[in-house]
A and B are shown apart, each in its own frame.
Chain A
């Protein structure tokens, strides 16, 4: 893979890998078991620029490209997918829509703190009755002078428990259907902004995924991104970028599972030889390595297209579909190689198996991605 990378990207990879291995790997099991959000690591990531990867330098960001972004997310996710998730969501679906659709005032107000990691961002779209069908959201924002009165019940908010700045999807015109959806930036601390209990999830347990409820929350009208009715457009653009992040997160999980599988296959002796000498295990290793490599190539291609300012929506959807399904399969095979031990929390593969599963669901399910891809091909 490194053949395709520029020198800058190689230095990014080796420095992020060193960071992830030294600072994150040692705590990855503990933060999963204790469901602990590791602030000490997040603060360091903020100082290194990992939380404002693509934000411009003049707004406190690192000013890097999309390829650097996916390298960073992959390396962090390899060490702990839940932290990779925090960084991916923060950088892409929280920070990116503010950058892409916000005005100068909104940039100055929100971007520097997010880009330096002083504040954490979240993306609030999903509701109890609106998931894949984003146009079904019920949250409302009613204009009242220079404010909106917002009522919303958002669920499964990644980073929800720690987020200060939420990109919130609301309905500003109840009669206008999909065209009545808008995006407003809601800040924690606003009266009526209530963070719910942490979801007790199967994987990504170090990420404080929560519900967020806004009750008659008075949000300044100047926090509305772009114009009323632009919500779905902003959402789709954010998710295109988000998909690349989640895809690279999935590649990171798959890479971790592959390496652990190889290591264990060489160590574990059965029938007097390391199991790596058995053909059935070799076949698994070969399939795992091939699938990881193809997923990674697809993610790189989508990121490269984005950097070249070419359309990348279809490629991002393909990469996310491929990488998330690869992560699930490869993690499953890694558990299989480990046998009974793989089902135990004593080894990391059990965590990869749980973490991988959600990548096929969030930021667009595999089914929605197939729909996006088919539309791109058939239309």
Chain B
């Protein structure tokens, strides 16, 4: 069985991001594997371990620094990696999906594809759907439980209101992992040494022969405005409502 895991090289959420120019940020920050993708890595690696056969291949669209992230997931047990290089800090999910599709297809095709339900930088939540559409495969995201039944997989996905949906999907399919699916492992020290020797096949996004170079362009980046502190109104209901109306009218000017 061949399982692909799409992994994104993202700034650590604890990093202090500085915006440079209109639509870029200072890349001198710590990067990590997108945490949601790590749930996908863990699920894929443990499935192969359980079956005692199969291969897990990580695929990443990112800059050359993304090789570090691929080594980190290979230390978790991924067998080899494909890095599709681009200098673009924010490749759109459309071009990313096309590139992932081509790389996976050219590499031999998938029995299963895992990825995070979203990335922690762009948070677009588009790539799993777009990749599935490109590949003509079924897709489910927000996966919190998974079991493999050969021709099909059974998954639970989180839906609104804390409810869970149980779905059976035909394989191959694209699955977007969510928090709760598993507890990603910490790599054992010898595995970190072994990861150094694992293969990373590199290619350039520009050379992949994709005619459509993507319809999404990032126009500008702005830091999130710091929220002002919450104010707790006290008094009787009548007084609270009166002061709330006053705040909405006079301070916030929303009514």
Contact = CB atoms under 8 A, between A and B. Distances in A.
Interface of A: 7-8, 10-12, 14-16, 18-19, 47-50, 53, 57, 62-64, 68
B45 to A, nearest CB: 15
Contacts of A15: 72, 75, 186-187, 192
Interface string B129-169: 00000000000000000000000000000000000000000
A192 B21 CA distance: 73
Interface in B13-41: 30, 32
Nearest to A65: B193
A240 B189 CA distance: 24
Given A11-B72, A19-B186, A62-B188, 16 more contacts: A8-B193, A8-B196, A11-B68, A14-B30, A14-B32, A15-B186, A18-B186, A48-B189, A49-B189, A50-B189, A53-B189, A62-B189, A62-B190, A62-B193, A63-B190, A64-B193
Contacts of B80: none
A68 B196 CA distance: 15
B104 to A, nearest CB: 25
B71 interface: yes
13 contacts: A7-B68, A8-B196, A11-B71, A11-B72, A11-B195, A14-B72, A15-B186, A18-B186, A48-B186, A48-B189, A49-B188, A50-B189, A57-B190
B193 A7 contact: no
Nearest to B196: A8
Chain A CB within 10 Å, residue with most, of B71, B75, B187, B196: B187
A164 B186 CA distance: 27
Nearest to A57: B190
A68 B190 CA distance: 12
Interface residues of B, number: 15
DSSP majority for the B interface?
A: helix
Contacts of A57: 190
A47 B187 CA distance: 10
Interface string B189-230: 110110110000000000000000000000000000000000
B189 A10 contact: no
Contacts of B195: 11
A66 B188 CA distance: 17
B192 A11 contact: yes
A7 B71 contact: yes
A62 B193 CA distance: 9
Contacts of B193: 8, 62-64
Contacts of A48: 186-189
Given A14-B32, A14-B72, A64 B186 contact: no
A191 to B, nearest CB: 37
Contacts of A68: 189
A238 to B, nearest CB: 22
Nearest to A62: B189
A8 B192 contact: yes
Nearest to B31: A14
Q: Which 5 A-B pairs have the closest CB atoms?
A: A49-B189, A62-B189, A19-B186, A15-B187, A49-B188
A12 B71 contact: no
A12 B191 CA distance: 10
B189 A64 contact: yes
Contacts of B68: 7, 10-11
Contacts of B72: 11, 14-15
A11 B187 contact: yes
B46 to A, nearest CB: 15
Contacts of A53: 189
A68 B195 CA distance: 15
A19 B184 CA distance: 11
A48 B75 CA distance: 12
Chain A CB within 10 Å, residue with most, of B189, B192, B193: B189
A68 B75 CA distance: 15
A4 B72 CA distance: 18
A65 B16 CA distance: 31
B180 to A, nearest CB: 15
A57 B193 CA distance: 11
B119 to A, nearest CB: 18
A323 to B, nearest CB: 23
Contacts of B189: 12, 48-50, 53, 62-64, 68
A10 B71 CA distance: 10
Nearest to A19: B186
Contacts of B186: 15-16, 18-19, 48
A58 B189 CA distance: 14
A47 B188 contact: yes
A345 B185 CA distance: 32
A212 to B, nearest CB: 30
Contacts of A14: 30, 32, 72
A7 B65 CA distance: 11
A48 B190 CA distance: 8
B33 to A, nearest CB: 10
A163 B156 CA distance: 46
A15 B30 CA distance: 13
Contacts of A12: 189, 192
B88 to A, nearest CB: 23
A8 B75 CA distance: 10
Contacts of B32: 14
A275 B72 CA distance: 39
